[in-house]
Structure 1
Amino acid sequence: MKLYLAFMTNEFQSNLAYKTDVFLKMFGRVMGLFVQIALWTALYHSTDSATTGMGQISLNDMINYVVISTCISVFVNNDTIFRIGDKIRSGDIGLQLMKPISLQTCMLFQAMGTSASRIFFELTPLVVIAAIFYPLHIPPVHLLLLFAVALINGFVINFLLAYILGMVGFWYLNIYHLSRLLSDVIKVFSGVWIPLWFFPQILTHVSAFLPFRLIYFSPISIYLGKTEWSGALLLIVQQFMWIGILLLVSELVWRRGISKLVIQGG
């Protein structure tokens, strides 16, 4: 475990090496937040709330939704696809097989190190600025705890999806566009920009069978109190089920990929 913590610490420190880059990212997050809230404010200009299939959604709900969604994106996004793609393309993946460590666990801790640095230097300023300009909702303690569990699970789900797609590089070296594909699919079905409250019924049903809503929409629904206690627990159970499924898929893809690598003499 100490070795993996060292990977996380190194990643945390390396993300602080380029302070200008950190500042620009934070500035971009803040500008994106203001733009999204301005758009939703314009859409709500003639009404205080909107009727959806999941109940009444007020402008204040949407402002809080945008803030939390932006904060989650800071926390869960990672570059795992690029990392594993580079290892496969450069041949470093062969050296990984000789090390007594798990590539998946190593990359998970590296993603955690990146997220930790973002919490301090992107997420915290973002929350402070948002709190100055907008009335932010603070849920009860029990919802905060459930939200924290759902947020961590969403981070793991997003990581595993990126890790599995990254391993496509064993068969198809040019995988960088897969990062854009994953990002676009998540944007559509996770509710990162448009909450599932406003989705057509057919898309809502489709998203229920996919893991993407469990990354953004489900944690935010718990935070805003739009999901009852029993429903929140069910969502967390679904997250654990998807984590188990994705772990199994990642192990199967890894074994197939390594087998292909060895057969080809990699």
Structure 2
Amino acid sequence: MKLYLAFLTNEFQSNLAYKTDVLLKMFGRVMGLFVQIALWTALYGTTSGTAATGMGQISLNDMINYVVISTCISVFVSNNTIFSIGDKIRSGDIGLQLMKPISLQTCMLFQSMGTSASRIFFELAPLIVVAAIFYPLTVPPVHLLLPFAVALLNGFVLNFLLAYILGMVGFWYINIYHLSRLLSDVIKVFSGVWIPLWFFPQILTDVSAFLPFRLIYFSPISIYMGKTEWTDTLLLIAQQFMWIGILLLVAELVWRKGISKLVIQGG
């Protein structure tokens, strides 16, 4: 465990090496937040201040809180796993990884945690302060904080596993960087990161129910905002654990196939 914690610490420190890049990312997050809220404010300006959806009435204040929480979650869960695995495979460093008595998956998970930790301090914290100054944010009841925290951590793991599995496609294809964009676009459509599933047509809502993407953003946000009943909250968390189990199994299968191909190619 100490070895993996060292990976976390090193990743945390390396993310602080380029201070200008950190400041630009923080500025970009804040500007993106303002733009999204301005857009929803303009859309709600043509209504009575609420919108009727298949999940009930959603007010402008609900949407402001949704955008803020969604932006904060994106800071926490996003990672560079696809690029990291792609670089290791393309450069041949993956062979050295096989010689080490550590798990690549666990190593990269802790590296992602280190990246997220740095973002919490230097992107997420300023973002929350700015949002609290300019917008009426709602703090959830105490009894929702624990299930929200569990759902948020599960969302982080789900997003990591999806990126990890796609990254291992590099065993078969040299250039996999477009897969990062593919995963990002699919998540944006089906996770509710930009447009909540409240506003989705029924057919897309039904499709998203069979996919893990909504469990990364929409489900934790719904729990935070008290938009789910207690039984539904427990069901959502159970679904997260189920998908984590499925993706762990898929990751193990892809890893074994990829290593087999690597060994064959290496002679």
Structure 2-normalised TM-score? Answer: 0.99
Residues 143-194 of structure 1: per-residue CA shift (max 9 Å, x gap):
1111110000000000000000000000011100000000000000000000
- 1:6 deviates by 0.2
Partner of 1:162: 163
CA distance in 2, matches of 1:139, 1:243: 26
Identity %: 89
- 1:115 deviates by 0.1
Task: Structure 1 unaligned segments of length 5 or more: list them.
Answer: none
Matches within 5 A, 1:198-209: 198-209=199-210
Partner of 1:262: 263
Matched, 1:3 2:3: yes
Matches within 5 A, 1:46-195: 46-195=47-196
Report the 3-state secondary structure (helix = DSSP H, G, I; strand = E; otherwise coil) of the residue aligned with 2:193: coil
Letter in 2 for 1:205: D
Letter in 2 for 1:40: W
CA distance in 2, matches of 1:245, 1:234: 16
Report the 3-state secondary structure (helix = DSSP H, G, I; strand = E; otherwise coil) of the residue aligned with 1:182: helix
Matches within 5 A, 1:36-47: 36-45=36-45, 46-47=47-48
- 1:141 deviates by 1.1
CA distance in 2, matches of 1:199, 1:153: 24
Matches within 5 A, 1:7-46: 7-45=7-45, 46=47
Report the 3-state secondary structure (helix = DSSP H, G, I; strand = E; otherwise coil) of the residue aligned with 1:50: strand
CA distance in 1, matches of 2:22, 2:237: 32
Residues 106-126 of structure 1: per-residue CA shift (max 9 Å, x gap):
000000000000000000000
- 1:55 deviates by 0.4
Q: How many residues align?
A: 266
Letter in 1 for 2:239: Q
Report the 3-state secondary structure (helix = DSSP H, G, I; strand = E; otherwise coil) of the residue aligned with 2:163: helix
CA distance in 2, matches of 1:25, 1:210: 30
Point out 4+ residue stretches in structure 1 off by more than 3 angstroms. Answer: none
- 1:56 deviates by 0.5
CA distance in 1, matches of 2:266, 2:146: 49
Letter in 2 for 1:21: D
- 1:16 deviates by 0.6
Partner of 1:197: 198
Task: Structure 2 unaligned segments of length 5 or more: list them.
Answer: none
